[in-house]
Amino acid sequence: MISVSQLSGLPTYASSSPSRLKTLYSDFSRQKQSNPTSYASNVEWWRRTLEAVVLKGWLADSGSNSANPDRLVLHARGSTLADDFRYEGVGKPLGLPTVLAELCASKAYFSLPDFLNSAKSVYDPGWLPLRIATYVVGKPLWWALKQLSIVSSDDSVLGDASYNEQWRKVRGDYVLLSVLERAADNVIQRQWSKGALSLADSLYNAESFRREFAAHALDDVVLSELDMRILLRYLERDKKVLVTQGGVIKFVEPQPAEPVEITAVDAGVLELKTAVDKLQVQVDSIQSKIGQRADQIATALRQKRKEIALSHLRAQKQLEALLKQRLGSLDTLQSTLLRVEQSAGDVEIMKSYESSTTTLRAILAHPSLQREKIDETMEAMTSANADAKEIDDAIAMGTDIAQADVAIDDAELEDEWKVLVQEAEREGADKAQAEQAQKEEEEARVKQERLAAAALQVPSNKPAPVEGEPSHASLSADRVAE
């Protein structure tokens, strides 16, 4: 059983309130009709939760290696799966059978036996389970499905079956498609990141494929043997990036134009590659043993145990002789493998030459490239160019004649242009003179207003003017008038 602390650490649980968890742990199957939005949200929450738990290896099958649990398969062994999710305060999830049935219907999960044995891609519409036929078939077939207890009359996946009966219907092992897609993408990226692949680099057997990709398909996870079988099946059938035959695994270009088969050359190259890998392992092991013997000799010498030191020295010499022999065999195999790869590459190059030659001959055989057709086309082009030149000459001649008919005297044009210039200059001068007069008039008006304003200001300490004597204001006014 998964602990409460483990569940609480999952993002789905951490972001859900207690009331939300109670809803998720209830039997919400009826919401599919009454509240489809909430129903879909609940199913999606459980999908993400189940996949997170499987990735962490918390639902390891009792029959599998607990040290390396399955990461691509959900083992639903019945109601015990609900017990694994028992949570304090909300109990165990009652809607989990509905979730599994819905995820299978929506092609997010696939039955393990069907996935491994089906010849159809998981993306083929023909894979749809019969229990979702309500969306695509008519009433007669729907009635037949109800008679077989595949669907129920209330249009839900599991109908009114009891809790235990629901678990009986969904019990099994399921491949998690979204996790599988992620693992496959990582494997493909790792393979193509090797750059220009040689024939040997594209060939694996089951063991070398596991060594190369099991620990790199998913982050911080090592895939199990079952996971690797599922991954191989998906890469071959659904992604079409490799082919398998007789224990040989060969990566090919994605979606090849023609079916690719494993040839005798592929099998031979893989055998050579496997032999090289095994010899390399032996060489590494011998070198390690030689190092151990050297340490033992040094220890015996410090202890002044001559016989033991000589024994280790004798074994070290034997190991060095064996290492020399293995290195010679390794060099021979590596050279042979390199020559085989070079020859295989030459074959591919020659095929490309043949294909290019065939294509070039097909193009040259086109009727438009025949000698007679080329001569005919060039003559027609010459004739068309000559006709175009005649037309251009005729147009130019007509233009000259038309200009001659107008008979415009250039001297008269020059005189008229001078008159226009003089008029423009005269208009400019008149405009400048008018602007200057307006400016002077404006300045005089402003000056008069300032004088009038100054005359109206009488100092307060001056005596009042004598009757009959003109005042300062009147004198100022008289001056302004003058």
Whether 467 has a pLDDT exceeding 80, the answer reads no
Region of 261 on the Ramachandran plot (φ > 0 left; ψ -120 to 50 alpha; else beta): beta
Under the banding of pLDDT at 50, 70 and 90, the label for residue 287 is very high
Predicted local confidence at residue 74, as pLDDT: 94
Whether 153 has a pLDDT exceeding 60, the answer reads no
> pLDDT tens for residues 262-281?
888 888 888 888 888 899 99
54-92: b (≥16 Cβ within 10 Å) or e: bbbbbbbbeebeeebbbbbbbbbeebebbebbbbeebee
Whether 229 has a pLDDT exceeding 60, the answer reads yes
Q: Residue 471 and residue 25: Cα distance in Å, rounded?
A: 111
Helix axes 96-105, 163-170, angle to 10 degrees: 30
> pLDDT tens for residues 192-221?
888 766 788 889 999 999 999 999 999 989
What average pLDDT does the segment 151-161 reach?
A: 52
Predicted local confidence at residue 397, as pLDDT: 84
> pLDDT tens for residues 379-409?
889 999 998 988 988 888 877 776 665 556 6
Type and span of the H or E element at 176:
strand 172-176
What average pLDDT does the segment 93-122 reach?
A: 92
Q: What are phi and psi of 245, to 5 degrees?
A: -165, 125
Alpha helices in 26-161 (DSSP H): 31-34, 36-55, 80-84, 96-105, 112-117, 139-147
Q: DSSP character for 250?
A: E
- Give the percent of the chain with pLDDT over 70: 83
Predicted local confidence at residue 401, as pLDDT: 74
What average pLDDT does the segment 77-96 reach?
A: 90
Q: Residue 22 and residue 395: Cα distance in Å, rounded?
A: 92
Whether 62 has a pLDDT exceeding 50, the answer reads no
Q: Which of the residue ranges 13-27, 139-153, 287-301, 307-321 would you say has the lowest mean pLDDT?
A: 139-153
Residue 43 structure tokens: 């199913």
Amino acid letter, residue 277: D
Q: Which of 377, 373, 397 is nearest to 385 (CA)?
A: 377
> pLDDT tens for residues 185-199?
999 999 988 876 678
Under the banding of pLDDT at 50, 70 and 90, the label for residue 228 is very high
Between the alpha carbon of residue 399 and those of residues 341, 404, 406, 413, 424, the distances in Å are 75, 9, 11, 21, 34
Q: Which of the residue ranges 155-164, 178-187, 304-313, 364-373 would you say has the lowest mean pLDDT?
A: 155-164
Under the banding of pLDDT at 50, 70 and 90, the label for residue 20 is very high
Amino acid letter, residue 372: E
Q: Where are the beta strands (DSSP E) in 55-128?
A: 73-76, 109-111
Predicted local confidence at residue 127, as pLDDT: 57
Predicted local confidence at residue 422, as pLDDT: 87
What average pLDDT does the segment 30-37 reach?
A: 90
Q: Residue 266 and residue 4: Cα distance in Å, rounded?
A: 52
Predicted local confidence at residue 335, as pLDDT: 87
Top-confidence residue, 73 or 257: 73
Predicted local confidence at residue 37, as pLDDT: 93
Predicted local confidence at residue 226, as pLDDT: 94
Tell whether the torsion through CA atoms of 144, 147, 152 and 158 is positive or negative: negative
Q: Which of 199, 204, 192, 191 is nearest to 339 (CA)?
A: 199
pLDDT, the chain, mean: 82
Whether 461 has a pLDDT exceeding 70, the answer reads no
> pLDDT tens for residues 400-433?
776 665 556 678 778 887 888 888 888 888 888 8
Predicted local confidence at residue 424, as pLDDT: 84
Whether 458 has a pLDDT exceeding 80, the answer reads no
pTM of the model: 0.64
Under the banding of pLDDT at 50, 70 and 90, the label for residue 181 is very high
User: Which position has the token pair 């032996």?
Assistant: 282
- Coil, helix or strand at residue 81: helix
- The β-bridge partners of 424 are none
